[in-house]
Amino acid sequence: MSATYALIHSVYNVMEKVASEATTARLISDNHLELQQQEDRELTCSSTNQRRRRPYLNILAIVRKCKGSLHLAFTSHFCFILASLFYVRLAFVDLAWVQDTRNNYHVPAEVLDEDDDEIWSDWASSNENGTIVEDMREDYYVQSKLLYILGAAFFVLVGIFDCMRYCDVMNVFMILAGAAGVVSGMSDTSREE
């Protein structure tokens, strides 16, 4: 897991450098933002009656700020990279589990494909390394479940940030898909019941 943290830290450093370069680009667009802020002030400083009749004007000002936010874009991209890294790490954990159990402990494919504790217990009782493999199996399930939930949760954040930036209905599907992934990862399987 420490390799994952080192990778996340290096990605974060690169993203900070990109953000500092983006800050210079932001300075160039300050004139545009000042015009938008002035327009927002004019909308919010209009008569009190107009604000009472049109409460959505303040919401529009917030949406305009989110659309031009480089920090929100940076955060969204950073969450996307983290979610992708968690899923790549999950793939390597799965690969390592299958290779280790087949090559080092000679677990048959029929047993590896099963999710039933009875089949694993029967196999473990008939082999000398059975208890070691069962302990490894528990660690594998905990680690893969954690990586799966973290990846899905970060994809939910990506959907939320992109929905705030683009105000597009399609980003709601990313939020729903990520939420379904989190629920799926947190639900008990038949093995855990």
CB 66 within 8 A of CB 164: yes
What is the four-CA torsion angle of 101, 102, 103, 105, rounded to 10 degrees?
50
pLDDT score of 153: 94
pLDDT score of 85: 96
For 156, the token pair is: 């939910």
pLDDT score of 48: 47
User: What is the secondary structure of the chain as a DSSP string?
Assistant: -HHHHHHHHHHHHHHHHHHHHHHHHHHHTHHHHHHHHHHHHHHHTS-HHHHHH-THHHHHHHHHHHHT-HHHHHHHHHHHHHHHHHHHHHHHHHHHHHHHHHHTS---HHHHT---HHHHHHHHHTSTTHHHHHHHHHHHHHHHHHHHHHHHHHHHHHHHHHHHHH--THHHHHHHHHHHHHHHHHS--TTT-
Print pLDDT tens along the chain (193 aa): 566 666 666 766 766 665 666 565 555 555 555 666 666 666 555 544 454 555 555 666 666 777 767 888 899 999 999 999 999 999 999 999 889 888 888 888 888 888 777 888 888 888 888 888 888 888 998 999 999 999 999 999 999 888 888 877 788 888 898 899 899 888 876 555 5
Sign of CA dihedral 146, 177, 68, 85: positive
Q: Closest Cα partner for 164 from 76, 44, 37?
A: 76
d(CA 38, CA 101): 65
pLDDT score of 78: 95
pLDDT score of 3: 65
CB atoms within 10 A of CB 147: 23
pLDDT score of 155: 92
